[in-house]
Chain A
Amino acid sequence: MGVIPVTLPNPKFEFTQARQRQLSTSVSLDSTTCRARIAAYNPSINAFVRTSPPPPPPPPHPSPLAHETLPLQLATRPVAVKDSICTRGMGAGCASEMLRDFDPPYDATVVTLLRAAGADIIGKTNCDEFGMGSMNIHSIHGPVINPFGSPAHRSSMARSTFPSAPSSSAPPLPPPPSPEARSAGGSSGGSAAAVAAGMCFAALGTDTGGSTRLPAAYCGVVGLKPSYGLLSRWGVVSFADSLDCVGVMAGCVEDTELVFDVLNVYDEKDPTAALPETREAARRACERRMEEMGWSEGRLDGLRIGIPQEYFPAEMTDAVLQPLRRTIAGLQAKGAVVVPVSMPATAYALSAYYVLASAEASSCLARFDGVEYGLHVRPPPGTDLATTSTAELYALSRSAGFGREVKKRILLGTYALSADAFDNYFLQAQRVRQLVKDDFDRVFGIPDYRQCTTGETGSEGVDVLVHPSAIQTAPRLDGEGGGGLETYVQDVLTVPASLAGLPALSVPVAGEGWPVGVSVVGQWGCESVVFAVGRAAERI
């Protein structure tokens, strides 16, 4: 806290200032510092489930050609990767008993790209089992503790004062969370906490219905769920194929964008990857629109921001609303025009999401039967194998391998796909999904280039939507507000963008106490516009 005037103990100010410092000092998040911080703080935060050995030190005398080549975008940057993304030799346990010992013999495409850009894959982060959950409490590694306000977090703001690394390696089990401990959010809670605690430069999460944006909001970091189809899903363990996205988290929008740019590459191994021409069409449309607005330094003149009226449910707390109002006012002050918009299908989005995500989960997780890999539970001695079906044998491994939440969703999804329920659940949810997409297409000025190739940019539409990332700040882990339907209601603000496959960026904004995130949502492929608005919002 050294440079902050001591006359301002206001937690709001402290947070804002601290974050600003992080923006400017993130370069010091090098491999050595981050490993020391993980060793010191991970036992109390439980963000990492595995760390990699430090990379070999750079040669003392750089090769004569070194100065001729451009430095890699992420050279020596430590990047954490969610444990549901495959990393060769570092496991991909998905916080599940089923895959506890699974070590994939391949890197996910996004990990390959990170390595190629020079990143140091520092470790694998805790999460909800297979990405299912929004509090990061459904994990065989125990919950992730929100580091906000903890010694780890404070020292990430003032880097000189963290203790030196303990000599022993991290204990296998974290200490039980204190009663006041707050959730880091889920499912990519470990990734968000790792960034917030200064344990890495950036982290990869996944986002199926908000799993990157929600923990980013709770932990006070930036979290991006990119447009569906931009970042390769090859090597990312599927939860729901049509919704899963790789998410990027970092301390500020600029760093998030840097990592996103490294990963935003067409991968022919991913059949859902957007084709290069589609990406290019969307990119050019955004370029034209931004040129048309012709922003000068720090201004947003001409930008049309939509405020979706359905994104303010009764459960939303004041702690979230006030910072949002300030942010919107700040954006208006920079020249943006605020337009109220209506997204009538939003009310049904959450139900549709849970039907579709569960249905796909029941399908995607069918492969975990303990035969080719993963947990295998042998039938008890004396079992008559002649009268035991294969499915019954699989049930032994699956019952032991999956946790409660995963089982619940598999059962729900299995039901939604059964012959009697298919029309009323799965098909109905697909219809709602289309309505949600239609809502977005109606309000945005730029068309969705996945469907049209020659779309005209409308003058009436908005450029982005802005709304709170969550209905409240990080909830307590001791059960208060957790476990029941409320945990699903958290997702109400994040699932529409997932259903529509749109880019959504959660940016931490000035709040009273616990962090608050504001979401900026854009048309498909319009990451550049979303980042521009995000950069403006984080400076308010």
Chain B
Amino acid sequence: MLRRLCQCRARQLQPFRRFHDARVYKEDPRWLGWQVVIGIETHAQIKSRRKLFSESLTSVPGETPNTHVSMFDAAFPGTLPKLNHKCVDLALRAAVALQSDIQTRSSFDRKHYFYSDLPSGYQITQQYAPIAIGGRLSVALPNSPPFEVRIKQIQLEQDTAKSTLNPRTRTSHIDLNRAGTGLMEIVSEPDLRSPDEAGAYVRALQAVLRAVGASDGNMEQGSLRCDVNVSINRVGQPPGTRCEIKNLNSVRFMIAAITHEITRQRAILESAPDPQNATVPQETRGFDEHRFETYKLRSKEDAPDYRYMPDPNLGVLVLSQERIRTVRDTLPELPWETRERLRSAYGLSERDVDVLLNIDSGRDVSFDGETQGPNASVIAYFDQLCAEEGDEGKRRRDPKAVSNWITHELLGQLAARKETFKDNHLSVDQLGELIDMVQNKTITGTSGKLLLRHMLANPSKTPTMQIATELQLTALEPCPDSTSSDTPVHSPALRALCADAIAALPAESDAARKGNRNVLNKIVGRVMKDSHGRADAKAVRALLEELLLPR
């Protein structure tokens, strides 16, 4: 470990590379003549059931303060950390997804500072030997080719507690629920060139982390936070001095913060007496969410010395090739893989793919990377509904029809109930049966929608066919093989309905018998009404024509 520590120190002391020309300069009309260079450190809470080094359960904001706290979390003397390997595996998933080079040996370090959100006086992190080094993520802005963002490293670390100041009583309140929750710090290289690219990068990263189950990436809930480094330089000149904007917790704020920072730095450089040699003072800045401006937190001179020290308790984290391979082999499908599969394997349109992916972007991510039932993800639900039949090797349902039923009918009716896909309790079998019944005309499309509404309102495990029968929604015109014969055989029930309608509308019926085709519509309408949508209008018309029209 000592050797690695020395190597790492040597790396850190190397002079800066000329990183900013890694990408071709593209002019931006908002700041002509200036190049913007952005790098992002993302802190993503690991979606584990328990904390990184203790047995306590993780929590979400809003839970009763100090209810998820172990002796270790409160830094009681004599307590020791115990690494939660579920957290390690989730970080490894992220590393594989980002094509990062997983280190078979990594180690933990202590970062020291005194603040009330840090009970032990140090945060355990991976300063010298992170769990994964390097990597890349492909990011796309709408209507432009994708670009690649290099990942510098991924490190495991502890989240802090939360301290809030009550200005009225002038007291600090400390909630240790979050203290010790596992975080992944994902550091990008300074490969981003505009606020919009930065936003797209964070969204892409969010989608990847969610897809592999490493984090729920929820910025509003604080499970994904960003520190952004911004510098600007005149085109062709060396990179400028960077300023770091801390703790941005929404993409919108991040874009606003970077935009403001560019304007601010530009003003400094342009108003300097010697513009060619002017530099921006190196600072750590915060973002004011009300004024949409960044403000100074501290200058370089005030930067704290964190006194990093290898953690003597945790030793070396050794990862076997076999363990890494297992993570690689069992990695859930990545967003771009899903998109490609939906397009090529099912032939869905770009629009349908977008709708399905969008629904899933809001789904719950399970703890510890556990696999979920098909109802947790609309893609999995869709996959199962389209599932191929084993023996015949032939697709069971038409993907286009399934996609329509999900995106239009199911989600539409859920929305009408002010629900989302998460609330859908219809099993794959139930909806599958419903779609089949409509497809083979056991029920009409109208009845199908009615049935769906009924089933959403009355959760049960009863097979769809049984519910349809109970509700008398089965079509009056069973159509098996009806197409094979020129003269369809109409059901007695439909015949009875038609006879009733003819009896109820004697004047119209007479007119029809005399050859008035127009009046037939009225009788068809009557039959349809009486059948409560169970009858097929075409079949009714055909039957009425047979019964009334002169031959």
Closest to A415 in B: B307
| Cβ contact within 8 Å between A426 and B309 | yes
A18 → chain B closest CB, angstroms: 37
A384 → chain B closest CB, angstroms: 10
Query: What residues of B have a CB within 8 angstroms of the CB of A40 in the complex?
Result: none
| Cβ contact within 8 Å between A271 and B77 | no
A86 to B115, CA, bound (A): 26
A397 → chain B closest CB, angstroms: 11
Query: What residues of A have a CB within 8 angstroms of the CB of B150 in the complex?
Result: none
Of residues 352 through 399 on chain A, the ones whose CB sits less than 8 Å from some CB of chain B are: 359-360, 362-363, 365-369, 371-373, 385, 390-391, 394
A434 to B4, CA, bound (A): 14
| Cβ contact within 8 Å between B122 and A363 | yes
A372 to B70, CA, bound (A): 12
| Cβ contact within 8 Å between A86 and B119 | no
| B204 CB-CB contact with A under 8 Å | no
| A238 CB-CB contact with B under 8 Å | yes
| Cβ contact within 8 Å between B82 and A367 | no
| Cβ contact within 8 Å between B308 and A427 | no
Query: Interface residues of B: mostly helix, strand, loop or mixed?
Result: loop
Closest to B10 in A: A423
| A119 CB-CB contact with B under 8 Å | no
| B61 CB-CB contact with A under 8 Å | no
A365 to B2, CA, bound (A): 24
Q: Which of B77, B114, B305, B312 contacts A418 (CB 8 A)?
A: B305
In the complex, number of A-B residue pairs with CB atoms less than 8 Å apart? 113
| B174 CB-CB contact with A under 8 Å | yes
Task: Flag A182-212 by CB within 8 Å of B: 1 or 0 each.
Answer: 0000000000000000000000000000000
Of residues 76 through 124 on chain A, the ones whose CB sits less than 8 Å from some CB of chain B are: 85-86, 92, 94, 99, 102, 104-106, 108
Query: What residues of A have a CB within 8 angstroms of the CB of B74 in the complex?
Result: 372-373
Query: What residues of A have a CB within 8 angstroms of the CB of B305 in the complex?
Result: 418-419
Known: A241-B313, A417-B309, A430-B2. A366 touches B80 (CB 8 A): no
Task: Flag B59-88 by CB within 8 Å of A: 1 or 0 each.
Answer: 000000000000100111111111100000
| Cβ contact within 8 Å between B77 and A92 | yes
| B6 CB-CB contact with A under 8 Å | yes
| Cβ contact within 8 Å between B119 and A371 | yes
A238 to B110, CA, bound (A): 15
| Cβ contact within 8 Å between B116 and A373 | no
Q: Which of A238, A385, A434 contacts B170 (CB 8 A)?
A: A385
| Cβ contact within 8 Å between B5 and A427 | yes
Q: Which of B71, B79, B121, B314 contacts A363 (CB 8 A)?
A: B121
Query: What residues of A have a CB within 8 angstroms of the CB of B122 in the complex?
Result: 363, 366
A360 to B109, CA, bound (A): 12
Known: A367-B119, A427-B5. A271 touches B82 (CB 8 A): yes
| Cβ contact within 8 Å between B308 and A86 | no
| Cβ contact within 8 Å between B114 and A390 | yes
| A234 CB-CB contact with B under 8 Å | yes
| A414 CB-CB contact with B under 8 Å | yes
| Cβ contact within 8 Å between A234 and B5 | no
| Cβ contact within 8 Å between A272 and B313 | yes
| Cβ contact within 8 Å between B78 and A234 | yes
Closest to A420 in B: B305
B50 → chain A closest CB, angstroms: 15
| Cβ contact within 8 Å between B71 and A106 | yes
| Cβ contact within 8 Å between A233 and B80 | yes
| Cβ contact within 8 Å between A271 and B314 | yes
Of residues 402 through 459 on chain A, the ones whose CB sits less than 8 Å from some CB of chain B are: 414, 417-419, 422-423, 426-427, 430-431, 434
Query: What residues of B have a CB within 8 angstroms of the CB of A507 in the complex?
Result: none
Query: What residues of B have a CB within 8 angstroms of the CB of A430 in the complex?
Result: 2, 5
| B9 CB-CB contact with A under 8 Å | yes
Q: Which of A92, A372, A434 contacts B75 (CB 8 A)?
A: A372
Query: What residues of B have a CB within 8 angstroms of the CB of A363 in the complex?
Result: 110, 112, 121-122, 307, 309
A423 to B6, CA, bound (A): 8
| A465 CB-CB contact with B under 8 Å | no
B175 → chain A closest CB, angstroms: 12
Closest to B304 in A: A391
| Cβ contact within 8 Å between A242 and B119 | no
| A277 CB-CB contact with B under 8 Å | no
Closest to B6 in A: A427
| A181 CB-CB contact with B under 8 Å | no
Query: What residues of B have a CB within 8 angstroms of the CB of A369 in the complex?
Result: 114, 119, 121
Of residues 292 through 334 on chain B, the ones whose CB sits less than 8 Å from some CB of chain A are: 305, 307-309, 311-315
Q: Which of B78, B110, B114, B314 contacts A235 (CB 8 A)?
A: B78
A369 to B6, CA, bound (A): 32
Closest to B1 in A: A430
| B420 CB-CB contact with A under 8 Å | no
Query: What residues of B have a CB within 8 angstroms of the CB of A99 in the complex?
Result: 77
| Cβ contact within 8 Å between A371 and B174 | yes
Query: What residues of B have a CB within 8 angstroms of the CB of A248 in the complex?
Result: none
A373 to B162, CA, bound (A): 18
A431 to B308, CA, bound (A): 17
A432 to B38, CA, bound (A): 42
| Cβ contact within 8 Å between B83 and A271 | yes
Q: Which of B77, B79, B170, B314 contacts A102 (CB 8 A)?
A: B77
Query: What residues of B have a CB within 8 angstroms of the CB of A307 in the complex?
Result: none
Query: What residues of B have a CB within 8 angstroms of the CB of A366 in the complex?
Result: 112, 114, 120-122
Known: A108-B78, A367-B121. A240 touches B312 (CB 8 A): yes
Query: What residues of A have a CB within 8 angstroms of the CB of B82 in the complex?
Result: 268-269, 271
Query: What residues of B have a CB within 8 angstroms of the CB of A422 in the complex?
Result: 9, 307-308
| Cβ contact within 8 Å between B5 and A360 | no
B247 → chain A closest CB, angstroms: 17
Task: Flag B117-150 by CB within 8 Å of A: 1 or 0 each.
Answer: 0011110000000000000000000000000000
A192 to B170, CA, bound (A): 49
A370 to B532, CA, bound (A): 75
| A518 CB-CB contact with B under 8 Å | no
| Cβ contact within 8 Å between B307 and A271 | no
| A127 CB-CB contact with B under 8 Å | no
A269 to B83, CA, bound (A): 10
| Cβ contact within 8 Å between A427 and B309 | no
Task: Flag B87-126 by CB within 8 Å of A: 1 or 0 each.
Answer: 0000000000000000000000010111110011110000
| Cβ contact within 8 Å between B120 and A86 | no
A232 → chain B closest CB, angstroms: 9
A102 to B76, CA, bound (A): 10
Q: Which of B2, B78, B174, B315 contacts A238 (CB 8 A)?
A: B78
Q: Which of B6, B113, B114, B312 contacts A360 (CB 8 A)?
A: B312
Known: A106-B71, A271-B81, A431-B2. A373 touches B76 (CB 8 A): yes
| A500 CB-CB contact with B under 8 Å | no
Q: Indicate the member of A92, A367, A385 with the most B CB atoms within 10 Å.
A: A367
A269 to B78, CA, bound (A): 11
Q: Which of A104, A272, A426, A427 contacts B78 (CB 8 A)?
A: A104
Query: What residues of B have a CB within 8 angstroms of the CB of A242 in the complex?
Result: 312
| Cβ contact within 8 Å between A367 and B83 | no
| A280 CB-CB contact with B under 8 Å | no
A380 → chain B closest CB, angstroms: 15
A422 to B309, CA, bound (A): 9
Query: What residues of A have a CB within 8 angstroms of the CB of B112 in the complex?
Result: 362-363, 366, 417
Query: What residues of B have a CB within 8 angstroms of the CB of A426 in the complex?
Result: 309
Task: Flag A236-274 by CB within 8 Å of B: 1 or 0 each.
Answer: 111011100000000000000000000000001111100
A128 to B76, CA, bound (A): 20
| Cβ contact within 8 Å between A367 and B75 | yes
Query: What residues of A have a CB within 8 angstroms of the CB of B312 in the complex?
Result: 240-242, 272, 360
A106 to B74, CA, bound (A): 14
Query: What residues of B have a CB within 8 angstroms of the CB of A233 in the complex?
Result: 78, 80
**A–B Cβ pairs within 8 angstroms, 16 of them:** A108-B78, A238-B77, A241-B311, A269-B82, A271-B82, A272-B80, A272-B313, A360-B312, A363-B121, A363-B307, A365-B121, A366-B112, A367-B120, A369-B121, A371-B116, A423-B9
Closest 6 A-B residue pairs measured CB to CB? A366-B121, A242-B312, A417-B307, A241-B312, A391-B114, A367-B75
Chain B residues at the A interface, C-beta cutoff of 8 Å: 2, 5-6, 9, 71, 74-83, 110, 112-116, 119-122, 170, 174, 305, 307-309, 311-315
